[in-house]
Amino acid sequence: VAGRSCGVATQRQGGGQRPPELALTLIPAPGHSTALRWLHPRSLQLLSGHSMPAQPTPHLPSACGGPTRVTLGEERAWRSHGSNAGGRTCLPRRTAGAGSLTPGGERGGNNAGHTVVVDGKEYDFHLLPSGIINTKAVSFIGNGVVIHLPGLFEEAEKNEKKGLKDWEKRLIISDRAHLVFDFHQAVDGLQEVQRQAQEGKNIGTTKKGIGPTYSSKAARTGLRICDLLSDFDEFSSRFKNLAHQHQSMFPTLEIDIEGQLKRLKGFAERIRPMVRDGVYFMYEALHGPPKKILVEGANAALLDIDFGTYPFVTSSNCTVGGVCTGLGIPPQNIGDVYGVVKAYTTRVGIGAFPTEQINEIGDLLQTRGHEWGVTTGRKRRCGWLDLMILRYAHMVNGFTALALTKLDILDVLGEIKVGVSYKLNGKRIPYFPANQEMLQKVEVEYETLPGWKADTTGARRWEDLPPQAQNYIRFVENHVGVAVKWVGVGKSRESMIQLF
């Protein structure tokens, strides 16, 4: 599930006065079919019953209205590159002013990454909303995101070399977003060393300073974009106090206070034209001329600070509530919720992983899926699809449709296993355990499905998929109770099959 409402993309609706729509989306796995496209959300009812039709599920009227529709990425149970539900938005422009919006992040920072393939070029995004590559959209980074300014500009420069142009003219940053400082990142690494020494294990953070920055925010000692752009003398005083606090906790921590302040002052002038009051900006986007709004999230549900596999989680909410708190969007503006899930499960870093395959199957999935973390370069752990996790994510987020990505990675398998339930001490449990020790002990009950042993990368319609692949998709729908609306079978955007 998405971790930060990263990008909202809105496009002007032709003619009618239909209300704005919001879709919160998580970009599919790095190097594979991307969700960076203008989604046309359609309402549907949750599937029920035990038998699933062989044909695509028909479009059904939605039980809940609302101008905002949310697409949460659930392509993996644990994302390696997600932030939290911060808030990034992207708003396509019309001739006179902004007519479309794409918030790119509602929470988190550059601890996550999305690889997006457009016209054969790969772009890697961490802080920038993925919608920034759309020249007709304005991107917005919301208040829930924590921003490391050196990292933001370094990321932009790397993507400029790949063809990204005029991004600073299309990016808006909330004045309420908190700042990640270099010493936050240094402390992140020191804390990992302490955990390893004291407990014999660490959390496996990206060392991007996300946790320490949210700690400063919770302690009410953090500094925001609005502070940087206001009285710089006051900002400098508070920065020095914050730096000294961290040095008192970590005596070996060295901070070039004056050097960092000089650098921050330079960044302040570079971002000043991009900064807006984020709450007012989103209000105008939602209540102005009709738009289509796309919110991009990052981390998955199992990395959520409250609902994830604590303590092996990120430091903010990656679930649907992050859209409201990370962008300032009222709950009544959220309608349909779309989840993105891979056809198998991966995890980066430490923590329980019930369906992990530490064998040739795991190696095959890792190799064929190119499962490496975009931010850290770490190899991802791989395993069979875990429907207990997907059902749990659905309980928290209330998905109304799913996007199933990387189906093509399973093309070479003669049979495919799917985790359908857990047993603990010999008894089946209907819930996803909160306790990590308990989760480590669960016994996964699998169902084995026939593989299709055929290349699906050329499929562009439901009818092009082998019957066994269709059955796999319907099996997922039946067990989760949510219809699959999109199926990804490759890297390009054209490789995303829309079923209804």
We report the CATH number of the domain holding residue 229 as 1.10.300.10
Query: Is the same domain home to 4 and 48?
Result: yes
Query: Is the same domain home to 259 and 334?
Result: no
Please check whether residue 175 lies inside any domain of the structure: no
- Is 217 catalytic? The answer is yes
pTM of the model: 0.78
Please check whether residue 177 lies inside any domain of the structure: no
The last residue of one of the domains, among 216, 245, 271, is 271
Furthest CA-CA distance within the chain? 67
Please check whether residue 244 lies inside any domain of the structure: yes
**CATH assignment of the domain containing 378:** 3.90.170.10
Report the 10 Å Cβ neighbour count for 337.
25
Query: Burial level of 24, CB count in 10 A (0-12/13-18/19+)?
Result: buried
- Nearest in space to 305 (alpha carbons), one of 71, 131, 111: 111
Do 375 and 206 contact (CB within 8 A), yes or no? yes
Please check whether residue 437 lies inside any domain of the structure: yes
Write out the H or E segment, with its range, that includes residue 72.
Answer: strand 70-73
Per-residue pLDDT of the chain (500 residues; tens, 9 = 90+): 233 333 333 333 343 333 333 333 333 333 333 332 223 322 222 222 333 333 443 333 333 323 456 666 554 455 433 222 233 333 333 222 334 565 556 666 776 677 888 888 889 898 999 889 989 888 999 999 999 999 999 999 999 999 999 999 999 999 999 999 999 999 988 888 888 878 777 777 778 899 999 999 999 999 999 999 999 999 999 999 999 999 999 999 999 999 999 999 999 999 999 999 999 999 999 998 888 888 877 788 898 999 999 999 989 998 999 999 999 999 988 878 888 899 999 998 788 999 999 999 999 999 999 998 766 677 899 999 999 999 999 999 999 999 999 999 999 999 999 999 999 999 999 999 999 999 999 999 999 999 999 999 999 999 999 999 999 999 999 999 999 999 999 988 889 999 99
The last residue of one of the domains, among 209, 238, 271, is 271
Query: Is the same domain home to 220 and 288?
Result: no
- Lookup result for tokens 């986007």: 285
Query: Is the same domain home to 151 and 78?
Result: yes
Choice among 217, 406, 417, 491 that is catalytic:
217
Query: Is the same domain home to 219 and 345?
Result: no
Please check whether residue 475 lies inside any domain of the structure: yes
Query: Is the same domain home to 333 and 362?
Result: yes
Q: Is 64 helix (H, G, I), strand (E, B) or coil?
A: coil
Instruction: State how many domains the chain has.
Output: 2
Query: Is the same domain home to 428 and 355?
Result: yes
Query: Is the same domain home to 236 and 298?
Result: no
Please check whether residue 446 lies inside any domain of the structure: yes
Please check whether residue 173 lies inside any domain of the structure: no
Query: Is the same domain home to 144 and 235?
Result: no
Q: Is 305 helix (H, G, I), strand (E, B) or coil?
A: coil
The last residue of one of the domains, among 236, 271, 306, is 271
Prior bond of 289 cis (ω within 30°): no
Phi, psi of 446, rounded to the nearest 5 degrees: -110, 155
Query: Is the same domain home to 62 and 110?
Result: yes
Query: Is the same domain home to 129 and 209?
Result: no
Distance CA 304, CA 132 (A): 25
Q: Residue 248 is part of which domain span?
A: 182-271
Please check whether residue 176 lies inside any domain of the structure: no
Query: Is the same domain home to 225 and 92?
Result: no
